[in-house]
Chain A
Amino acid sequence: MASDVFPATLNTWIGGELNRGSSGRLKVNQYLMSTYAWPLRVYYLGTNLRWLGEPDDVIGGFFASRLAQGEFFGKWQASGIRLRRWLMNSFSYYLMEMRREHRKQRTAVEAIDEPVTFSGDPNAALDQAAAVAFVRQAMLEAQKVCESDDLGDHWQIFLRHHLEGAPFADLGKEYGVDAARATVMARTATRKFRAALRDVLERDGVAPERIDEEIQMLVKEIGS
């Protein structure tokens, strides 16, 4: 259907996948759930509507509802905002829909139609959670690339050095290489991770030339 054809000019990966049909759509849906479920969960648990259900169920329902809509991504592209922000806004509407449904099934006790409110700054909370989720998603993708390139040990040395603080000398002994080689192996994996993280940010709607700026903003937002 012509209306389902996604304008690929603005976001190459998502647009390209959606234009491939149902297999591409499935891939995009899996990607969105893998990357954005955590930020949406943090947002949901900060709202006054967190009584609507278990976070996993509510977020799963949201994705099922919205991702089935052919125009969902087109509307996001037209909005010009970050995908995480678009999803949070859409999720907020979804929560109101859920509450309306809930009310229909209940008595008038819950009839007051109060707006969705958030304890604190929802944008800051979303950005903090998204920063962590982006890092995790980039790790998953970079690990996959490393393993398919026969660089599984490179990935392990990278991750264990940066995540657990393991010295290269110790890692080198474990993996049967000297410290210098372990350092270079981690460097190779760093390059894969960097590329993956930048891809994740680009899919969120960040222009390639502004990715460093976005990273700096996220680092500032998480305050470390």
Chain B
Amino acid sequence: MTGKPSSESAGKTPWPQDMSMEKASLFLRLGMSAPRRPVDDLIDRLNQPDGKRWLPGALEDGPMRGMGTPLDLLVNGKATVQQCMLIKDHSKVFVRKAMDNEAKMAGIAGYFLAIAAGLRHHGVLLTARERAGLRDILLDLAEALAEPYRALVSQAALSAPAAGSAAGNQPKD
């Protein structure tokens, strides 16, 4: 840790008498479960012991086959907007045609990493379908990724529209 809380009470669990009803309500709502999404299957896969190592190879041998490395294209931002769109579309097809779960997970990973690269490197939102919950999806996905993928996706999440928000960049499909 490089920083310290700025006051004595900062970062301490409050006593019941010190917690406002508004704050209690906020924390209670944080306890609500969310419906399961396709990205949750990918997160489960990434959280397996070999998950972090699995990802780059799964992309290179899967939806990004013959295109280049995910590190260069998506993380380092060498893919143009059109290439990001191509990877995203290719990944969608890959998910549809997947013969097994591993291929399907690779397709989902390619899809969201391409969207993240579009947002992070080009400021362009490549999808309309996930628009409402995209920020949450990317934050949850980032949590399960290793660096440097985590930085790509978490930084993209900050420019993605939040659930219920009308803000964001122009969707491309």
Contact = CB atoms under 8 A, between A and B. Distances in A.
A139 B16 contact: no
A224 B25 contact: yes
A153 B1 contact: yes
Contacts of A164: 10
B2 A175 contact: yes
B142 A224 contact: no
B163 interface: no
B26 to A, nearest CB: 6
Contacts of B154: 180-181, 183-184
Interface string B1-35: 11111100011111111011111111111111100
B2 A136 contact: no
A174 interface: yes
A224 B27 contact: no
A129 to B, nearest CB: 7
A188 to B, nearest CB: 5
**Dominant secondary structure of chain B at its interface with chain A:** helix
In this complex, the interface size class of chain B, counting residues with CB under 8 Å from chain A, is 35 or more
Contacts, number: 125
B28 A215 contact: yes
B34 to A, nearest CB: 9
Contacts of A178: 151, 155
Contacts of A194: 30-33
Given A180-B158, A183-B154, A156 B16 contact: no
Interface size class of A (residues with CB under 8 A): 35 or more
A180 B28 contact: no
A160 B2 CA distance: 16
Nearest to B4: A174
B155 A143 contact: no
A139 B13 contact: yes
B158 A179 contact: yes
B28 A135 contact: yes
B140 interface: yes
A85 interface: no
Contacts of B25: 131, 219, 222, 224
B52 to A, nearest CB: 15
A164 B1 CA distance: 20
A159 B30 contact: no
A27 interface: no
Interface in A137-188: 138-140, 143, 152-153, 156, 159-160, 162-164, 173-176, 178-181, 183-184, 187-188
Interface of B: 1-6, 10-17, 19-33, 139-140, 142-143, 150-151, 154-155, 157-158
29 contacts: A129-B16, A136-B14, A136-B16, A136-B19, A138-B31, A160-B5, A160-B10, A160-B11, A164-B10, A174-B2, A176-B2, A180-B142, A180-B158, A183-B139, A184-B139, A184-B142, A187-B139, A187-B143, A193-B27, A194-B30, A194-B31, A194-B32, A198-B31, A198-B33, A211-B33, A212-B32, A222-B25, A224-B21, A224-B24
Given A162-B23, A178-B151, 10 more contacts: A136-B16, A156-B5, A159-B11, A159-B12, A178-B155, A179-B158, A194-B32, A197-B27, A219-B28, A219-B29
